Amino acid sequence: MSARTNASKSRPTPATLGLYVREEHDNTFGGGYYHVKAHPVWVGRTPEEYRDIDAGRQVDDVSRTQVRNASTRYELHQGLYLDGLMVNSQGCSRDTTRHLYGFEIEYRDVFSVDARTAERMHKTLSTIERKMSKLADQWGRPATFGQYLLRVAAALGATRIVLPRKDARDGSYADMDLRIEDLRTGASCVDYRVEQWIAAGQPATVAS
Protein backbone atom coordinates (compact mmCIF):
# COMPACT_ATOMS: atom_id res chain seq x y z
CA MET A 1 0.00 0.00 0.00
CA SER A 2 1.41 3.40 -0.97
CA ALA A 3 2.22 6.17 1.48
CA ARG A 4 -0.38 8.34 -0.28
CA THR A 5 -3.10 5.73 0.33
CA ASN A 6 -2.08 5.38 3.97
CA ALA A 7 -2.25 9.14 4.40
CA SER A 8 -5.73 9.30 2.85
CA LYS A 9 -7.00 6.62 5.22
CA SER A 10 -5.62 8.39 8.30
CA ARG A 11 -6.81 11.86 7.29
CA PRO A 12 -9.99 12.92 9.16
CA THR A 13 -13.06 12.71 6.96
CA PRO A 14 -14.94 15.92 6.12
CA ALA A 15 -18.17 13.91 6.22
CA THR A 16 -20.79 15.09 8.73
CA LEU A 17 -21.91 12.55 11.30
CA GLY A 18 -25.26 13.05 12.98
CA LEU A 19 -27.56 11.27 15.43
CA TYR A 20 -31.00 10.39 14.09
CA VAL A 21 -33.45 10.51 17.01
CA ARG A 22 -36.87 8.88 17.01
CA GLU A 23 -39.65 8.31 19.54
CA GLU A 24 -41.48 5.02 19.97
CA HIS A 25 -44.93 4.88 21.58
CA ASP A 26 -46.91 1.74 22.34
CA ASN A 27 -50.28 1.74 24.05
CA THR A 28 -51.57 -1.62 22.80
CA PHE A 29 -52.92 -3.99 25.45
CA GLY A 30 -52.12 -1.44 28.13
CA GLY A 31 -48.40 -1.64 27.34
CA GLY A 32 -47.81 2.07 27.45
CA TYR A 33 -44.06 2.18 26.83
CA TYR A 34 -42.26 5.25 25.53
CA HIS A 35 -38.75 5.01 24.11
CA VAL A 36 -36.43 7.63 22.67
CA LYS A 37 -33.64 6.15 20.55
CA ALA A 38 -30.83 7.44 18.39
CA HIS A 39 -28.37 5.98 15.90
CA PRO A 40 -25.55 7.45 13.80
CA VAL A 41 -26.24 8.73 10.28
CA TRP A 42 -24.31 10.61 7.60
CA VAL A 43 -25.64 14.03 6.64
CA GLY A 44 -24.63 14.90 3.09
CA ARG A 45 -21.74 12.98 1.54
CA THR A 46 -20.34 9.83 3.12
CA PRO A 47 -16.62 9.23 3.78
CA GLU A 48 -16.55 6.77 0.86
CA GLU A 49 -17.86 9.45 -1.51
CA TYR A 50 -15.24 11.93 -0.33
CA ARG A 51 -12.53 9.35 -0.97
CA ASP A 52 -13.92 8.73 -4.46
CA ILE A 53 -13.76 12.47 -5.14
CA ASP A 54 -10.16 12.62 -3.89
CA ALA A 55 -9.33 9.73 -6.20
CA GLY A 56 -10.87 11.50 -9.18
CA ARG A 57 -13.77 9.09 -9.56
CA GLN A 58 -17.22 10.18 -10.71
CA VAL A 59 -19.63 10.71 -7.81
CA ASP A 60 -23.35 11.48 -8.00
CA ASP A 61 -24.57 14.81 -6.69
CA VAL A 62 -25.68 14.62 -3.06
CA SER A 63 -27.77 17.18 -1.19
CA ARG A 64 -26.19 18.61 1.94
CA THR A 65 -29.34 17.54 3.77
CA GLN A 66 -29.45 13.96 2.48
CA VAL A 67 -29.45 11.49 5.39
CA ARG A 68 -28.15 7.91 5.23
CA ASN A 69 -27.34 5.28 7.83
CA ALA A 70 -23.74 5.13 9.03
CA SER A 71 -23.95 1.36 9.09
CA THR A 72 -21.43 -0.09 6.68
CA ARG A 73 -19.85 -3.23 8.14
CA TYR A 74 -16.48 -2.53 6.57
CA GLU A 75 -15.84 1.05 7.59
CA LEU A 76 -14.63 2.55 10.86
CA HIS A 77 -15.21 6.16 11.80
CA GLN A 78 -12.33 7.51 13.89
CA GLY A 79 -11.68 3.91 14.93
CA LEU A 80 -15.32 3.33 15.92
CA TYR A 81 -17.59 0.59 14.53
CA LEU A 82 -20.96 2.21 13.87
CA ASP A 83 -22.98 -0.63 12.31
CA GLY A 84 -25.86 -1.46 14.68
CA LEU A 85 -24.83 1.10 17.32
CA MET A 86 -27.86 2.42 19.20
CA VAL A 87 -28.49 4.94 21.98
CA ASN A 88 -31.49 3.94 24.08
CA SER A 89 -33.79 5.24 26.78
CA GLN A 90 -37.14 4.08 28.10
CA GLY A 91 -40.16 5.23 30.01
CA CYS A 92 -43.57 3.89 30.98
CA SER A 93 -46.73 5.86 30.19
CA ARG A 94 -48.56 4.08 33.02
CA ASP A 95 -46.26 5.54 35.68
CA THR A 96 -47.96 8.00 38.01
CA THR A 97 -45.01 10.33 37.57
CA ARG A 98 -43.56 9.83 34.14
CA HIS A 99 -39.80 9.94 33.64
CA LEU A 100 -37.25 8.72 31.12
CA TYR A 101 -34.54 6.38 32.37
CA GLY A 102 -32.23 3.56 31.30
CA PHE A 103 -29.87 5.69 29.19
CA GLU A 104 -27.41 3.33 27.51
CA ILE A 105 -25.39 2.60 24.37
CA GLU A 106 -25.36 -0.84 22.85
CA TYR A 107 -25.53 -2.79 19.59
CA ARG A 108 -28.98 -3.92 18.46
CA ASP A 109 -30.50 -5.84 15.57
CA VAL A 110 -27.12 -7.14 14.40
CA PHE A 111 -27.48 -9.93 11.83
CA SER A 112 -24.24 -11.79 12.58
CA VAL A 113 -21.10 -11.29 14.64
CA ASP A 114 -17.73 -12.93 14.02
CA ALA A 115 -14.61 -12.63 16.17
CA ARG A 116 -13.32 -9.57 14.32
CA THR A 117 -16.66 -7.78 14.55
CA ALA A 118 -17.01 -8.63 18.26
CA GLU A 119 -13.56 -7.18 18.89
CA ARG A 120 -14.49 -3.98 17.02
CA MET A 121 -17.73 -3.68 18.97
CA HIS A 122 -16.00 -4.18 22.32
CA LYS A 123 -13.32 -1.64 21.46
CA THR A 124 -15.94 0.88 20.33
CA LEU A 125 -18.09 0.53 23.45
CA SER A 126 -15.01 0.75 25.68
CA THR A 127 -13.80 3.87 23.87
CA ILE A 128 -17.20 5.56 24.14
CA GLU A 129 -17.48 4.67 27.83
CA ARG A 130 -14.03 6.10 28.52
CA LYS A 131 -14.75 9.33 26.66
CA MET A 132 -18.13 9.80 28.33
CA SER A 133 -16.60 9.17 31.75
CA LYS A 134 -14.19 12.05 31.10
CA LEU A 135 -17.08 14.25 29.96
CA ALA A 136 -18.99 13.39 33.15
CA ASP A 137 -15.99 14.61 35.15
CA GLN A 138 -16.12 17.91 33.23
CA TRP A 139 -19.88 18.46 32.89
CA GLY A 140 -21.39 16.31 35.64
CA ARG A 141 -23.99 13.60 35.16
CA PRO A 142 -26.61 14.26 32.45
CA ALA A 143 -29.95 15.31 33.90
CA THR A 144 -31.90 14.72 30.67
CA PHE A 145 -31.71 12.46 27.63
CA GLY A 146 -30.85 15.50 25.52
CA GLN A 147 -27.80 16.13 27.71
CA TYR A 148 -26.89 12.46 27.42
CA LEU A 149 -27.05 12.73 23.62
CA LEU A 150 -24.65 15.69 23.72
CA ARG A 151 -22.11 13.48 25.47
CA VAL A 152 -22.66 10.63 23.03
CA ALA A 153 -22.23 13.03 20.11
CA ALA A 154 -18.96 14.31 21.56
CA ALA A 155 -17.70 10.75 22.01
CA LEU A 156 -18.61 9.78 18.44
CA GLY A 157 -17.56 12.99 16.73
CA ALA A 158 -21.14 13.75 15.64
CA THR A 159 -22.05 17.39 14.98
CA ARG A 160 -25.76 17.23 14.05
CA ILE A 161 -29.01 15.90 15.48
CA VAL A 162 -31.63 14.78 12.97
CA LEU A 163 -35.30 14.50 13.95
CA PRO A 164 -38.51 13.72 12.07
CA ARG A 165 -40.95 16.61 12.41
CA LYS A 166 -43.68 14.14 13.39
CA ASP A 167 -43.91 10.50 14.43
CA ALA A 168 -42.15 8.43 11.78
CA ARG A 169 -42.10 4.69 11.22
CA ASP A 170 -39.03 2.92 9.91
CA GLY A 171 -38.54 3.69 6.25
CA SER A 172 -36.60 5.81 3.80
CA TYR A 173 -35.25 9.09 5.15
CA ALA A 174 -36.05 10.61 1.75
CA ASP A 175 -39.75 10.05 2.45
CA MET A 176 -39.63 11.77 5.84
CA ASP A 177 -39.93 15.43 6.76
CA LEU A 178 -36.68 15.85 8.68
CA ARG A 179 -35.11 18.71 10.58
CA ILE A 180 -31.33 18.85 10.90
CA GLU A 181 -30.09 20.83 13.88
CA ASP A 182 -26.84 21.70 15.58
CA LEU A 183 -26.20 19.66 18.71
CA ARG A 184 -27.52 22.04 21.36
CA THR A 185 -30.64 22.99 19.41
CA GLY A 186 -31.30 19.34 18.62
CA ALA A 187 -30.80 18.26 22.22
CA SER A 188 -33.24 20.96 23.37
CA CYS A 189 -35.81 19.70 20.83
CA VAL A 190 -35.42 16.15 22.16
CA ASP A 191 -35.90 17.29 25.74
CA TYR A 192 -38.96 19.34 24.75
CA ARG A 193 -40.59 16.25 23.21
CA VAL A 194 -39.85 14.25 26.35
CA GLU A 195 -41.34 17.06 28.45
CA GLN A 196 -44.49 16.92 26.33
CA TRP A 197 -44.81 13.19 27.02
CA ILE A 198 -44.31 13.81 30.75
CA ALA A 199 -46.88 16.62 30.78
CA ALA A 200 -49.43 14.46 28.95
CA GLY A 201 -49.39 12.06 31.89
CA GLN A 202 -50.10 14.68 34.54
CA PRO A 203 -53.63 14.83 35.96
CA ALA A 204 -55.66 17.77 34.75
CA THR A 205 -55.90 20.61 37.24
CA VAL A 206 -59.37 21.85 38.20
CA ALA A 207 -59.78 25.59 38.62
CA SER A 208 -61.14 26.56 42.02
Structural domain spans, the chain = 14-196
In angstroms, the CA 189 to CA 156 distance is 20
In angstroms, the CA 23 to CA 168 distance is 8
In angstroms, the CA 150 to CA 186 distance is 9
**Average pLDDT for 92-105:** 90
Which whole-number Å values give the CA distances from 167 to 59, 65, 101, 163, in the listed order?
Answer: 33, 19, 21, 10
Return the number of other C-beta atoms located less than 10 Å from residue 53's C-beta.
13
DSSP 135-199: HHHHH-S-SSHHHHHHHHHHHHT--EEEEESS---SS-GGGS-EEEEEHHHHHHHHHHHHHHHHH
Q: Residue 5: pLDDT band by 50, 70, 90 thresholds?
A: very low
Task: Tell me the pTM.
Answer: 0.87
* Tens of pLDDT, residues 181-205: 999 999 999 999 999 999 988 765 5
Whether 1 shows a pLDDT value over 70: the answer reads no
Q: Residue 208: pLDDT band by 50, 70, 90 thresholds?
A: very low
pLDDT score for 55: 86
* Tens of pLDDT, residues 63-96: 899 999 997 766 788 899 999 999 999 999 888 8
Which whole-number Å values give the CA distances from 141 to 72, 149, 150, in the listed order?
Answer: 32, 12, 12
* Tens of pLDDT, residues 8-55: 344 567 899 999 999 988 876 666 889 999 999 999 999 988 888 888
Note whether 191 and 144 are within 8 A (CB).
yes
Pairing of strands 67-69, 16-26: unpaired
